[in-house]
Structure 1
Amino acid sequence: MAFIPRVAKFIHDGNFNLKSLTVVLPSQRAIKYLSNALVKEFGGPIFAPKMLTIDQWVKTFYPNCIDRTRLLLNLYEVHQEIEANPESFEDFVQWATMLLSDFDDIDRYLLEPKEVFKNLLDIKELEAWNIEEREISETQKKFLAFWEKLPEYHAKLELRLKQLNKITSARAYRNLSEENLQLLTSNPVIFAGFNALSSAETTIIKKLIRSGNAHFLVDADAYYMDDTIHEAGLFIRRNIQQLELNNPNWIISNIGNKPLDVRIVECPQKTGQVKVAAAALAQLTEEELQSTAVILADETLISALVQNIPANVKQANITLGLPLTQTPVKSWVEAIFRIQENKKRFKTAAIYHADLMSFMHQIFVLMVASDYEKNKMADIEMNTSTKNKVFQSPRKLDISPKINEILLAITEAWNDDWIKAISQIRELNQLLIQATPSSNQFELNCLLTFDNAIASFQKIVEEGLPKMTLKSFKSLFYQHWSTASLAYHGNPTKGLQVMGILETRMLDFERLIILGFNEGSLPTTNPIKTLIPLDLRSMLGLPSTRDKQGVFAHHFYRLLHEAKHMTATFTSAADNLGSQEKSRYLLQMELELTSLNKQLNVKHEMYAIPIEEVSKIETGILQKTPFIIDRVHQFFERTISASSISKYIACSLDFYYRYLVEFGEDKTVEEDIETHTFGTFIHNTLDTLYAPYATYNKDGERMHKVTPPITVDIIDKMIADFPEVLKKEFIDYFDGDDTLFQTGKNALSFSVAKEMTLKFLEAEKDFVMNSHETLTIERLESRFDTSFTIEIENEKKTIKIGGYVDRVDKVGNRYRVIDYKSGKVTKENVTIGRKKGSEKLNFKSTKHALQLAFYALMFEEMYGVLPDEVLIISLIDSKGKYPLCGKENQSINEISEQVKGFVQEIYSEMIDSTIDFTHNKSAFYCQYCM
């Protein structure tokens, strides 16, 4: 008979007065199982006894226990009282949590605080002592002073709690152990299924047993109890001795005698373990599932497991819960705090571009946004990237009243007002909860669980926090929600049971599926967080690493009490040291238990996630399929630019990803002003200065009947005006915050931009002064398009080309098409030669020839004639003008005609299935294929 039915039978046969009986159990889940077992044992509904966990039972005597956060804050106030130069809260927390844990251990194990602290100080003095008897350093003195003050920390914290009429839960155990329990309770108490007990717990139970008011029911097996060195029986053997249990007749003899089939599955991939579990569950009947448990030694597998439970599992109770840290809440909280961190970092009311992008991509924002609102946010994202807006005012971002309200709430500065901070976070929760569509139940549950987790923290904050930084507040805030879980629903006693190893206490199952059975997960290898050295802990009788392993050993071996079938998986994928090894408990079963129990059958398997066969493609090479060739034809049906063809020339594989697969430009916002943006500022400044004198505006409307010539006086005015125009470009870039380019790299960029603009205007002034012809501006930053016909596969194809031209002007009657470049330009970049042994011009070998030739063709479409000159002006070398020309003095007419043939050649090459798209190893600017 399983343990819980035996406990129910003990209660039934003991003729207890159920109304006065209290049953104390190790877990909440055990309480639910015992309730169900009592109904079965008594043959129907009953007035059940009071059933509590041991913490709940102790708190019935001491309901004034203080929560952990308030205790930590009180200790910080003690720290400020004791220390002349108290640490910041975030530094204090690093050791304070360990100190509180040690204070708890002192109480739970009934130690004399002064003796513990004296022993600890003696050890620290020995560590600081040197054999040469030199005087200890100031650092060593400060180090020792801390240990000397520990008794004062303990005493003053106790005093503060007494004044508040509060008590720690550990102190509650100590106090209860010191009470005359007959005065507290004369009613019977049953303690069932306990393993490791603290000194205080042992004393309490022993007193009650001696008074005749208590029973202690042991959940153990002779296999590990009779072996005096077996770690699984360590604590129960100790309990039997200390509680003076002369006849612990609850010890069974199942593990060494009953049949057990064990299947150990090694999984090279961590998630493969979930697939093993799903396959095993799929083979079970509904009746078999009723006595099956999936136990997660590695609790990070819970999300994957939930998604892979097979359809034949009609009922499942998953009380482990999905940690909130594995839901969209984690990203949402990080976004909230990152916005506040960047507000302090940049000292601006504007929102940082990365924070704005993060906000608009949050699941909670997208789920409440309509299609219209999503499109508005997409436009803002595009605008932010294309205009390189590092900062933007949230109030100027007009999305919709609903999204604007959420954005303004999340971007309002806290200014170290933590009451405002927690109120604002909860206000955000309410805004999202109210706007969540009914179809988003998972997200709604995430928000409700999160809000519930921080509600108690709000009360603590409102009571008052010590002075702390944003970093400290964030750390404190995380403590109140990061351990919360999203509960899965299910019947607590029916159907498949899914749980962590700690929840298995007292529970028995015929079929076990244990996932993550690796060394480091079971048993865990987490170190004990303590300020007390391990050798001193051992001497004082405080829990050690070995004790901790003994606890987990019992958790595992008691699962074998009633088990008939066990599937255990472990992963051989290494994460941490030792984590790729299977657990020692599996090795113990194979080496020790098999020799004792001949009915134990162990089978080993290897599992790998099936991988679909894929064709082996050499890295950096893509063969052309009919689909890809069709994409090429589609590309040439659109208006093409010189830059797209140049991309193909530079690296055909990068062209494929960018223009055929259409990954798009990798739009990023520059945080420091880079070359492209730097040149754009100067370019825009020149546009603003020259625009009043242009014949046509950007929309093609004629602005002057007679275009005014550019004179020396006009340029002098430009020289006087340009610093403010340029400054406005920078201010717009930084969303109105001019402090962001007053220092550092951005200040240097502003200074260099002024110098380059001035040199350009001075060079322009020299040109006007020394020219015998007038200079007039035709167009600035204007769109040009044209088309021409080529022959592809014996079929006429119309090719459309288009682009923006920076400037068209006239010197006398001669037209010039000008492109500004912010980088260095050489004569070789614009001088085109012929291919070797051919009359064809080699556009591939001349960096800017293709672009300038396209400009010439597009100009001809608009003006009816070819330009007299197509040139580049380098902003970095403003006196340098670089006109398109041929090495053999080819005319613009010949160059522009030949460029049509070059496009035909490129088109034919792209659809040639014998020529692969390949990565050019010498290409420096590939975005996608490197």
Structure 2
Amino acid sequence: MLQSNNLLVLPTSRSIREYFDKDKLSNTLLPTVITIDEFFKKSLFFENKKIIDEEQRFLYLNEAVKNVNLKALGISSSFNSFLKQSDYIYRFFLEISSENVSIESIASADTYSYYEEHLEILIQIYKNYLKILEKNSAIDRINMHLFFNLNRDFIERYKKIKIFFEGYFTQFEFELVKDISQIVDLEIEFISNEYNRKSIQKFIDYGFELETDKKYLINLSKKEIVLSESLNEELDSLKIEGFSSRINQIAFIKNSVVEFINKGLDPSKIALILPDESFAKVLRLFDNEGYFNYAMGIDIYDTRLYKTLDAINSSLVDDEIKVIKNLEYINIDFEFYNEIFSNSSKSFLTKDKFDKICEYLRSLEENRELLEKFDEVCFRYEKLIFSQEQAILLKDAFKIFFQKVSSLTLDDINSGKITVMGLLESRLINFDAIIICDFNESLIPKRSLKDKFLSSALKQKVNLPTVKDREDLQKYYYQRLISNSKNVAISFVKNDSDQISRFANRLFEIKISEKLHDNEYKHILYSQNSLKHFNEDIVLDIDLSKLIWSASSLKEFLECKRKYYLNHILKIKEHNISLKPRGYELGNIVHDSLEEYYKQDKRGYEALLSIFNKYRSENPFLNLDLEIWKRKLKDFIEQEEKRFEKGYKIIALEKPFLCEYEGVKLQGKIDRIDVLADEYFVIDYKTSSNLKISTKRTFENATDFQLEFYFLALENLYNSNNINTFYYDLYNMKLLEEVALNEKLELLKSIINGFKTTSVSFDKCENNQTCQYCVYKVICNKE
């Protein structure tokens, strides 16, 4: 293979592979092609210094924080916790060094001294860390800018260097590129759009006049624009659909793959992009057809080697019976375990113990690729740990070892043709079609770990990248990904806790429907377990005004007539074998506890707690909820004492009622009635974490008339209309008044007057969100 003396620099190894796969490279002199990371590494050298790896960096950083008040930074000083949280500190140091910003300049810019204590601690850690690096003649990315030399032997090999720029140059990197451009002819190709303004501002500050939505090729050595082209981006097809759960997106993904292939697209030119790469594990479980190959590799969590490591690691930090049972379940050699780990919290890791650990774990595994990668980890770890002057406790050392082995992945050798990858891996690759799942507000754009210590305002002041800058960079990647494809399919999850990313409305000009599409695709995942359902209309000769209504039965009727029919007429009750508590269980316990508490004379938190503790269950999940609620009950007692000091008195608890309204009988049980002077206060306890009450703008869609029922009952019981109605939001410990009471009473009157019927059609509701948690959704074929 003949090579020219040109160097091409691309963002990723995958983009390099695609470059060499292009037909236009046939019968040509091929340039040398490397990634941007390799380019920077090879362009620098350090005299009499060694570059440290991630494990060494952690140990040095752990040494640097000794005798420092980490708690003030919101970081634990324990070894295990610091192992997880040290990244916050390191990323902050890396950011300021990469942008050539000193901590001292940040402190002087903090005119209001909001971060004075934080910065003093960070300065101390930073100086400690630099001293440790200097003492050990070590180079890390944090002190790289202080000691580097340009590797002219590498740079001068090439007549021309061309960088395909996709992303962001730090200030250090940009200065480095400028220095290199003085040695060799250097060109940079990039796209300018509304989301990478921060990235291209460095070129503008260097003297280039650049516009938005253009493709540029600039010669940095000559400081001239070689090429400027307008962007022409048109999609052949675009589909955006929502689902109630993440797993149901997989059916959409598979359907999209089939549609694209039936359209004549090459499967190897179709990609699935995962904003959260951990979703690949779930996807693999459903990939019966073998559609996909996984660019991120396959995790080792199902291997015996990992399961043994995980069980041992858990046993070193937790001595619960379940941990010991787990060791028994994986058939661990207890003779080996007791010999090595019997006193792990006090003993140190020795070379002999480490050799025995590695030998035992190797004996459990047969996968040759995993063994090779495991041996490499063992070699690097041994070199790291036993080159230290200070010995490390066995349990702490094992934690680092476990974390390192956990990050191993295996190549996807039994792979399909559709590539599954994360966002960054997709840079500078052209696809005929892309599928993006999880296009949700919680994931797109992904939140950064680098913004723990400073506000965006202060970062902007000292010219550090802000949260918005990082989010814009991710948006740039998504826009580039989509513009490099002609066919796009996007799915998102819509439920109580998530929604489509707001970025989608800016990225696409079409109106995005909020309709959920689970039913359209469910046959793809669940066809083997399909059930036959009846879809006939259900019409009964019935006079609704002759029935006795509770607030809950009315709510069911208004939300879904079919649900009311199944529950109150056919009386089909819920069948549940799940260990998780049912929605009403916790609420019932809280209600019963408060009723018993106020019926006795003894008051105070301890008195309420003794009642509450009687409701402990054999269900561990319910007990967990009860433990959490103990703290809330303490807040409840404090609030109640303040209320009673104002003169409120309880006159009724769990008060049953049966009254008539507009000729229809209403029944129920009022949680509590308070009185102050001549005013009555209806109180309905609520334990839900997402309690919503109607407002005067939203009451027209109301289905819950519980407080209205209570108001009418009190009018009848006490012959008074001086009545106030409240929800007691026990989760947030607030009293919430029914502000639209009069309006909802008028609405209730209208509903009740419509109950004089001779025939009723019990139709299924059309709101999929109502069906999402309905116990009858299987019967109705609404899954």
What's the TM-score, normalizing by structure 2? 0.56
Supply the distance in 2 between the matched residues of 1:462 and 1:503 (Cα, whole angstroms). Answer: 36
Indicate if the aligned counterparts of 1:66 and 1:167 stay in contact, CA closer than 8 A.
yes
Q: CA deviation at 1:427?
A: 2.2
Q: Could you say if the C-alpha distance between residues 482 and 116 of structure 1 is closer, same or farther in structure 2, counting changes exceeding 3 Å?
A: farther
Structure 2 residue 51 is the aligned partner of structure 1 residue 65: yes
Indicate if the aligned counterparts of 2:313 and 2:398 stay in contact, CA closer than 8 A.
yes
Matching residue within 528, 544, 555 for 2:450: 528
Q: Which residue of 2 aligns with 1:334?
A: 310
Equivalent residue runs for 1:89-238 within 5 Å: 89-90=79-80, 96-119=86-109, 124=113, 144=117, 147-148=119-120, 150-172=122-144, 176=148, 185=156, 187=158, 188-211=160-183, 213-220=185-192, 225=193, 230-236=194-200, 238=202
Decide which structure has greater helix share. Answer: 1
Matching residue within 385, 398, 406 for 1:461: 385
Q: Which residue of 2 aligns with 1:556?
A: 478
Q: Secondary structure at the match of 1:560?
A: helix
Q: Could you say if the C-alpha distance between residues 172 and 25 of structure 1 is closer, same or farther in structure 2, counting changes exceeding 3 Å?
A: farther
1:184-240 per-position Cα deviation (integer Å, ceiling 9, x unaligned): 6473322113221111111122333355521101145xxxx3xxxx32554245545
Q: CA deviation at 1:46?
A: 5.2
Q: Could you say if the C-alpha distance between residues 517 and 451 of structure 1 is closer, same or farther in structure 2, counting changes exceeding 3 Å?
A: farther
Matching residue within 286, 291, 294 for 2:272: 294
Q: Secondary structure at the match of 1:290?
A: helix
Q: Which residue of 2 aligns with 1:820?
A: none
Structure 2 regions of 5+ residues with no counterpart?
209-217, 219-223, 534-565, 567-571, 578-617, 621-783
Q: Could you say if the C-alpha distance between residues 96 and 359 of structure 1 is closer, same or farther in structure 2, counting changes exceeding 3 Å?
A: closer
Aligned length: 509
Supply the distance in 1 between the matched residues of 2:43 and 2:153 (Cα, whole angstroms). Answer: 15
Supply the distance in 1 between the matched residues of 2:391 and 2:474 (Cα, whole angstroms). Answer: 41
Indicate if the aligned counterparts of 2:8 and 2:31 stay in contact, CA closer than 8 A.
no
Q: CA deviation at 1:288?
A: 2.4
Q: Which residue of 1 aligns with 2:506?
A: 588
Q: Which has the larger radius of gyration?
A: 1
Q: Which residue of 2 aligns with 1:487?
A: 411
For 2:505, give the aligned amino acid: L
Structure 1 regions of 5+ residues with no counterpart?
1-11, 129-143, 346-351, 366-393, 395-402, 596-600, 623-665, 669-930
Q: Which residue of 2 aligns with 1:540?
A: 462
For 1:304, give the aligned amino acid: V
Structure 2 residue 327 is the aligned partner of structure 1 residue 359: yes
Indicate if the aligned counterparts of 1:267 and 1:273 stay in contact, CA closer than 8 A.
yes
Q: Could you say if the C-alpha distance between residues 127 and 253 of structure 1 is closer, same or farther in structure 2, counting changes exceeding 3 Å?
A: closer
Q: Which residue of 2 aligns with 1:389?
A: none
Indicate if the aligned counterparts of 1:104 and 1:170 stay in contact, CA closer than 8 A.
yes
1:495-529 per-position Cα deviation (integer Å, ceiling 9, x unaligned): 42221111010001111111111112121134534
Q: Could you say if the C-alpha distance between residues 59 and 209 of structure 1 is closer, same or farther in structure 2, counting changes exceeding 3 Å?
A: closer
Q: Which residue of 1 aligns with 2:358?
A: 426
Q: Secondary structure at the match of 2:89?
A: helix
Equivalent residue runs for 1:75-94 within 5 Å: 75-80=61-66, 89-90=79-80
Q: Secondary structure at the match of 2:139?
A: coil
Q: Could you say if the C-alpha distance between residues 422 and 242 of structure 1 is closer, same or farther in structure 2, counting changes exceeding 3 Å?
A: farther
Indicate if the aligned counterparts of 2:448 and 2:470 stay in contact, CA closer than 8 A.
no
Supply the distance in 2 between the matched residues of 1:621 and 1:489 (Cα, whole angstroms). Answer: 42
Equivalent residue runs for 1:391-406 within 5 Å: none
Matching residue within 238, 242, 245 for 1:262: 238
Q: CA deviation at 1:536?
A: 2.2
1:545-592 per-position Cα deviation (integer Å, ceiling 9, x unaligned): 101111111111112223221110111245xx5xx21122322234xx
Q: CA deviation at 1:539?
A: 1.2
For 2:273, give the aligned amino acid: I
Supply the distance in 2 between the matched residues of 1:305 and 1:84 (Cα, whole angstroms). Answer: 40
Supply the distance in 1 between the matched residues of 2:3 and 2:315 (Cα, whole angstroms). Answer: 57
Indicate if the aligned counterparts of 1:261 and 1:564 stay in contact, CA closer than 8 A.
yes
Supply the distance in 1 between the matched residues of 2:196 and 2:468 (Cα, whole angstroms). Answer: 11
Q: CA deviation at 1:52?
A: 3.0
Q: Could you say if the C-alpha distance between residues 294 and 80 of structure 1 is closer, same or farther in structure 2, counting changes exceeding 3 Å?
A: closer
For 1:303, give the aligned amino acid: K
For 1:280, give the aligned amino acid: S
Indicate if the aligned counterparts of 2:243 and 2:491 stay in contact, CA closer than 8 A.
yes
Supply the distance in 2 between the matched residues of 1:95 and 1:276 (Cα, whole angstroms). Answer: 37
For 1:72, give the aligned amino acid: F
Q: Secondary structure at the match of 1:273?
A: helix
Supply the distance in 2 between the matched residues of 1:67 and 1:495 (Cα, whole angstroms). Answer: 35
Supply the distance in 2 between the matched residues of 1:27 and 1:559 (Cα, whole angstroms). Answer: 14
**Cα RMSD for the two superposed structures:** 4.2
1:347-374 per-position Cα deviation (integer Å, ceiling 9, x unaligned): xxxxx86444312433xx5xxxxxxxxx
Indicate if the aligned counterparts of 2:275 and 2:423 stay in contact, CA closer than 8 A.
yes
Q: Which residue of 1 aligns with 2:670?
A: none
Supply the distance in 1 between the matched residues of 2:128 and 2:461 (Cα, whole angstroms). Answer: 27
Q: Which residue of 2 aligns with 1:26?
A: 11
Q: Could you say if the C-alpha distance between residues 545 and 84 of structure 1 is closer, same or farther in structure 2, counting changes exceeding 3 Å?
A: closer
Q: Which residue of 2 aligns with 1:782?
A: none
Supply the distance in 2 between the matched residues of 1:79 and 1:328 (Cα, whole angstroms). Answer: 36
Q: Could you say if the C-alpha distance between residues 523 and 210 of structure 1 is closer, same or farther in structure 2, counting changes exceeding 3 Å?
A: same
Q: Could you say if the C-alpha distance between residues 332 and 182 of structure 1 is closer, same or farther in structure 2, counting changes exceeding 3 Å?
A: closer
Q: Could you say if the C-alpha distance between residues 620 and 208 of structure 1 is closer, same or farther in structure 2, counting changes exceeding 3 Å?
A: closer
Q: Which residue of 1 aligns with 2:517?
A: 606
Q: Could you say if the C-alpha distance between residues 446 and 199 of structure 1 is closer, same or farther in structure 2, counting changes exceeding 3 Å?
A: same
Q: Which residue of 2 aligns with 1:924?
A: none
Structure 2 residue 435 is the aligned partner of structure 1 residue 513: yes
Q: CA deviation at 1:20?
A: 3.6
Indicate if the aligned counterparts of 1:270 and 1:571 stay in contact, CA closer than 8 A.
yes
For 1:293, give the aligned amino acid: A
Q: Which residue of 2 aligns with 1:41?
A: 24
Indicate if the aligned counterparts of 2:7 and 2:162 stay in contact, CA closer than 8 A.
yes
Supply the distance in 1 between the matched residues of 2:207 and 2:179 (Cα, whole angstroms). Answer: 9
Indicate if the aligned counterparts of 1:73 and 1:466 stay in contact, CA closer than 8 A.
no
Equivalent residue runs for 1:435-454 within 5 Å: 436=366, 449-450=373-374, 452-454=376-378
Supply the distance in 2 between the matched residues of 1:240 and 1:180 (Cα, whole angstroms). Answer: 27
For 1:522, give the aligned amino acid: I
Q: Which residue of 2 aligns with 1:716?
A: none
Indicate if the aligned counterparts of 1:263 and 1:605 stay in contact, CA closer than 8 A.
no
Q: Could you say if the C-alpha distance between residues 328 and 251 of structure 1 is closer, same or farther in structure 2, counting changes exceeding 3 Å?
A: farther
Give identity over the alignment, percent.
Answer: 15
Q: Which residue of 1 aligns with 2:544?
A: none
Q: CA deviation at 1:164?
A: 2.4
Indicate if the aligned counterparts of 1:193 and 1:217 stay in contact, CA closer than 8 A.
yes
Q: Which residue of 2 aligns with 1:52?
A: 35
Matching residue within 282, 291, 295 for 1:304: 282
For 1:70, give the aligned amino acid: Q
